[in-house]
Structure 1
C-alpha cells in the first residue's frame, strides 16, 4: 500500500532539526515520523508530505526530496506552500488550498500515480486532505492531535474579545478547516475513547461530526506509542552519568539516613495543570509516605532546580516552585525532597531505569492528562506509575474489560488519595514488582509505534473496504480563493462557538 502523511506545519529531516525548539516542532512531528517509519518497516510505501522552505534561517528544508537512512520505503516530500520563507502554522491557511494541494497532485502526476490513502494531521493537514479528496477521490484519515475549540476554551473568550484572539491564532480558519476534515474523513483517529466523546462533541463541531451517534463507527481509537529504542529496561548510554547526578543530588539534599529510600519521581514540565503542588501536599499530609520515600522533582536545565528557581525564565514556573518551597518550609519537608536536571529523552529514560533500580515509582498528578505518554515511557523502562485518574491514563493503566491494573490511578484533587496510591505501589517488594512487570507488559502489548502503525493500517483497510459516505459540508470559498472578499466572517465563528 502507498500511504501519504499530510503535515504542512513544522518540517522533517533526517536529523530532526529544531524539534522541541519551536512550537511547530513538537510532539506531533515525533508522532508522524514514528508512525510513518513503523508503517514503512512493515513493507508499505510511505511519504511524509510537508512544506518546502527556502530560507537561510532554515536551510535543512530546501530540498524537494529527503529521507531517513535505513528506511528505503519512506520519503520526505517537500511541496511549496505560499512564500518561500518559514511561516508559523497559524499563517499557512490561505496557502493550503491553492499552491500546496496543487503541488501535491502535480508531484504525484510526475511520480507515476496518486497514493492509495492520505493520513492527515492537525487541522491544516486535515483541510488539505478534504480538498484533495474532492480533487482526486483519494480518501483520508484525520488525526487532530489537538482541536481548536479546546484551545479557544482555554483562552476564555467573550464576544468582545473574540476578534483580538482570532487575530493572533486564526481560529476562524482552524475550526472551519477542522470541521471540513472531520466531516469528509473516512476515519477519524483519536488516542482515547474519551478524546472522541469529549473533544469531538464540542458545540463548535456540531453539524460536522456526531461522535456518539451517526459517526461513532467512523472513529478509530489508536493510542500513540512509546519509543522503545530509548525507553526500555535495557541500559543506555546516559545511565552512568544520570546515576552519578542523582547520587550527587541525594548527597546534597538529603540526610544520610534517608538516601537509600525509594524516590517518587516527578519529571513533568512546570505547568499549573501538572499539579506538582498536589504531590507535595501528599507528602506533607501523610507521615507513612514520608517514612517510605523521598520526593524527587526533575526539570530541564538547572542542576539544583528548587534552590535555583529564580533563574527560571517563565513567571509561571517560578511561581510553581515558590509555592512548593513555601510548603516545604511550612511542613519541614526539605529533608525529604531532592531536585535535579534531566536534559534529554535519553537522560529521562536513564533516570527511569536508575530510579527503578532503587524500587522507586513515577508520579504524574495532573488535573487532567489528555493521553499520558510520560507514564507509559516510565513503565516501559520498568518504573511503576502512580498517576492521575483524569484523562487517558484511566484507559492505559486499567483494562475495564478484565479489571486488570497496570499502574495505580489516583484522584489529583485529593492529596490523601495521592498518598494512598503511592503507598499502594511502594508497600511491598511483591506489589512493586507486580506493577513493574504489568507496566512493561502493557506497553509492549499495546503502546508501541508498531502497534500504532498497525492500527492505522487496519483503519485504512476498513475504510477502503467500506465506501465512506461523502461529507455534507461545502468548502468555504476562502480556502480555495483566499482574499478579503472571501474571508470567513468572525460572526460565523461566534455563531458556532457561542451557540446555546
Structure 2
C-alpha cells in the first residue's frame, strides 16, 4: 500500500496531499485515528471546493480510506496503512520533500510511546513480546478471507500430509484410534490389531461382516463378532452406521481427502467430560445475570452446556455407546449471595441429566472482598489460586481429567489456560468481547486508566490465553480480523504498546488455523416466534403486557405512557456506556417524529444509583434520568428496573411483537449480540449497531436494519423511515419479521453450534496428537510472562484491595 502513497506523490494530487498534511499539523491532536482522519479529509475537501468524485474516488481518497492512524511528528508523518483486513504497513513521510520510507514495528511502537509522553527510546530499553517465532513452523492460512476457517484449512493440510507421507500419518492415525477408552473400557480397536498393516487387512474383513447384516440390525447383535476381528464399540449403533464409519476409515487409508478426514474424526467418541469456565461469578439460573458485567455470558454458557450435553448424548448413542457424559460449568462461589444460589457449591442445570454448576470460592485473602461480588476489572488477583483449588474439585466431581476445557471471557480463559496446562487437556477459548477494542487507545494510556480498569493485567492475560489455546472460537469473522473499515478485536493484539510496561511486536498470528467462527444460537424452548400462540402461556402474556405498558410500581417501573397504543420502541440491556441505552434515549428525545409515532420502553437493570456498586452503571442511571428531565419525556418513556426470569425474557419480546413493535440494539460496539437473535427469532424487526457482530447477523434492509449509534439523527431517520413504510404497507412489518425468523433458524441454533464445537475439539485433539508440533517452548514462554508480568501485577492489586479494606 506504500505504492499507493507513492502514486499520490507522483500524480497531480501531490499538492492536495501536501495541503492535507498541512491541515493535519494544525490539529491539536498528534495521534489521529481513522474517524479523525476521515473527518479532517471531509473538511479539507469542503474548504477547497473539491467535488464529490474527488472525496470518493481520487487516489488520495483511497489512501485516506486505507489509513488507520496518523502520528504527527515535528518533521514527518507516520501512517499506519491497512490495505486488506489483518495486514498492516507502517511508513513515514517527510513533511518537507514527501520522501517515503518504511518503519519497523519497533520504531512505530517507540513513536507511539513518545506521542503518549511516557517513554523515549533514549531513556532505555523496553521489554518486547514477540510470539511470531512460535508460529513460524506451523501451517499458515494465506488468504485473509479464510481466517476463521481454521479447521477446514487444517483438514486439507492433514489430508495432504497423509497423501505425501502415508506411512507416517497412517501409523499416527492407527495409534490415535487405539488411545480411546471410556471408564476403563477399550473403544474402537483392541489388542488383536497390533499394526497399521493389520488394521488395513482386518478392515476389509469387518466390512464384509457388517455388509452381510440388515442395515438396522443393532450393534449388540454382532458386537462379539467384531471384537474377534479387533474392533471394539464406538463405530456405530447399527450395522448401517458401523459400515459408514468403517468405510470412511477405509477410504481415508486408500485416498486421503479432507472431507473424509473430518467426517471420520468427528465420529470418534473421545469427549465424555467437558468443563466450561465462567469464573467471574453471580452465575446461576434464577435472578442471576452477571451483576451487571457478564449477563450475556451467563445466558450463553447455560445454553451451551445444555446443548453440549444433548449433543454428546446423541453422538454417543449413534456410536453405539451407553454413556453418561458430564458437563460442568466452573464458576466462583459467593458467600454473600444476595438471595441467589451463588453460595451453593453444586447446582444442577435445569433440563439436563448430568450438567452441573460447580462453584469454588476464592481463597479468603480479604474475606470482605472475596465473599462478595467483585467487578470483572478487579478479579485478577484471585484467579491463580482459584484455578489450583478448582483442579482438585473438578477431578473429584468428574472422577478423572476432563477431555475439553472451554474458557469464557478474559478471566475464564486465563483460568482455562492454568487448568489445561496442569491437566494436559485440550483448551478452547471464547472471548465474547475483548475490552481492548472497546476503549480507544486504552493500551496507550493504560497508566491513567489502570486504577479503574487494570488493563495492564487484562491485556497480559489475553495474550497468555489466546496464544496458549489449542483453538479459539469467535462468533463472527470480524471479531478476529475486522472489516475493511475497522480492525478486529484479535487483530488489535497483533502490535501494540503499553508504555513503560512492554511492546507487543507480534501478539497473535491471525493466520494460524486455531481460529474458527462458530456463532452461538438461541434457546428455542424460550425464544420462539410470537405467532406460536399455542406454546405461550396466557397468564405470562397478560402479566408482562401489564408490566410493560401500565403497571404503576415505583419499585420496578419509572415513567408512565400517556398513549400506550403507540408502537413500542423496545430495548433490553444492562446500563453501561458501551450498551448505550442512554444514547438511544437521547436519540428518541431529539426526534419529534419518533415521539409522535412510538413509545420508548427500556428493560435495564436498576432504577436507583444507590442500588448499584458498578461505576459505569451508576453514571448511566444518572444520565438517563437527566435525559428524561431535560427533554421532558414524561408520558413517552417506560424504564423497567427488573431482572427477568428466563421464560419472561422470551415472552417479553413476543408481547412487544404482538403490538408490532421494534427492537433497537444501540451499542457503541457489540461483539456478537444474543439479544439480536432473541428479538429476531421472536418476530421483532430489529435495528442493531453496525459496529461488531450484528454486521454479520443482519442483512441490512432484508431481515433487519443496521444503524450507526454515533449518528443519532441518522439512527432516528432510519427508524422513522421503517415506521412510515409500515404505515403505507401493512404487510411490510410482517415481511421483515418473517425474514428475521428465517435468518435465525437457518444459521444461529445451538444444535449447529455444539455440533461444530465438538467436531473442532476432536479434530484439534487429533492434530495435537499427530502433528508432533512441539508446543512446550511456546508454553514455557507463556509461563514466563505469567510469572514475571502477570503475577507481580496481580499481587499489587491484591495488596491494594487489602489496603482499601483496612481503610474502610
TM-score by length of 2: 0.50
Q: Which has the higher contact order (CA 8 A, sep 6+)?
A: 1
Does 2:274 align with 1:4? yes
1:201 to 491, 494, 498: 491
2:657–2:683 Cα contact (<8 Å) kept: yes
Looking at structure 2, the residues matched to 363 and 21 of structure 1 have their Cα atoms a distance apart, in angstroms, of: 22
Structure-to-structure mapping, 1:62-461, within 5 angstroms: 66-68=347-349, 70-78=351-359, 82-83=363-364, 86=370, 88=374, 89-96=379-386, 98-101=388-391, 103=392, 106-107=395-396, 111=399, 113-147=400-434, 149-150=436-437, 158=445, 160-161=447-448, 165=451, 170-197=454-481, 198-202=488-492, 203-204=495-496, 207-211=506-510, 214-215=511-512, 217-232=513-528, 233=530, 234-236=535-537, 237-248=539-550, 259-273=564-578, 274=580, 276-277=582-583, 280-281=586-587, 284-285=590-591, 287=593, 289=594, 293-300=597-604, 314-327=618-631, 329=632, 337-341=636-640, 343=642, 344-345=644-645, 346-398=647-699, 405-426=702-723, 427=725, 428-461=729-762
Aligned-partner SS, 1:145: coil
Deviation track 1:326-357 (CA, whole Å, cap 9, x = no partner) reads 23x4xxx766x232526215444333222212
Change in Cα spacing, 1:105 to 1:442, as seen in structure 2 (3 Å) is same
RMSD of equivalent CA atoms: 4.0
Larger Rg: 2
Aligned-partner SS, 2:289: coil
Change in Cα spacing, 1:280 to 1:79, as seen in structure 2 (3 Å) is closer
Deviation track 1:25-52 (CA, whole Å, cap 9, x = no partner) reads 6332332222111110123423325257
Question: Residue 182 of structure 1: CA displacement?
Answer: 1.0
2:527–2:682 Cα contact (<8 Å) kept: yes
Deviation track 1:210-268 (CA, whole Å, cap 9, x = no partner) reads 22xx32x3211222332333322242442101223445379x9566xx65332222334
2:707–2:715 Cα contact (<8 Å) kept: yes
Structure-to-structure mapping, 1:463-482, within 5 angstroms: 463-467=764-768, 469=773, 471=775, 472-473=778-779, 474-476=781-783, 479=786
Looking at structure 1, the residues matched to 344 and 716 of structure 2 have their Cα atoms a distance apart, in angstroms, of: 54
1:130–1:184 Cα contact (<8 Å) kept: yes
Looking at structure 1, the residues matched to 561 and 363 of structure 2 have their Cα atoms a distance apart, in angstroms, of: 57
Looking at structure 1, the residues matched to 333 and 588 of structure 2 have their Cα atoms a distance apart, in angstroms, of: 50
Gaps in structure 2 of 5+ consecutive residues: 1-270, 314-324, 482-487, 497-503, 553-558, 613-617, 797-808
1:50 to 307, 330, 344: 330
Looking at structure 2, the residues matched to 278 and 68 of structure 1 have their Cα atoms a distance apart, in angstroms, of: 35
Question: Residue 194 of structure 1: CA displacement?
Answer: 1.8
2:332–2:362 Cα contact (<8 Å) kept: yes
2:432–2:672 Cα contact (<8 Å) kept: no
Looking at structure 2, the residues matched to 366 and 466 of structure 1 have their Cα atoms a distance apart, in angstroms, of: 39
Aligned-partner SS, 1:238: helix
Looking at structure 2, the residues matched to 340 and 63 of structure 1 have their Cα atoms a distance apart, in angstroms, of: 32
Gaps in structure 1 of 5+ consecutive residues: 491-500
Looking at structure 2, the residues matched to 93 and 459 of structure 1 have their Cα atoms a distance apart, in angstroms, of: 27
Deviation track 1:79-115 (CA, whole Å, cap 9, x = no partner) reads 67644964643332331564444x268548x82x433
Aligned residues: 460
Question: Residue 299 of structure 1: CA displacement?
Answer: 3.3
Looking at structure 2, the residues matched to 408 and 127 of structure 1 have their Cα atoms a distance apart, in angstroms, of: 36
1:277–1:323 Cα contact (<8 Å) kept: no
Change in Cα spacing, 1:347 to 1:318, as seen in structure 2 (3 Å) is farther
Question: Residue 75 of structure 1: CA displacement?
Answer: 3.6
Looking at structure 2, the residues matched to 367 and 65 of structure 1 have their Cα atoms a distance apart, in angstroms, of: 37
Question: Residue 282 of structure 1: CA displacement?
Answer: 5.7
1:121–1:143 Cα contact (<8 Å) kept: yes
Change in Cα spacing, 1:272 to 1:172, as seen in structure 2 (3 Å) is closer
Match of 1:33 in 2: 302
1:254–1:338 Cα contact (<8 Å) kept: yes
Deviation track 1:115-153 (CA, whole Å, cap 9, x = no partner) reads 322222233332343344444432211112333534775
Looking at structure 1, the residues matched to 664 and 420 of structure 2 have their Cα atoms a distance apart, in angstroms, of: 44
1:98–1:481 Cα contact (<8 Å) kept: no
1:189–1:219 Cα contact (<8 Å) kept: yes
TM-score by length of 1: 0.76
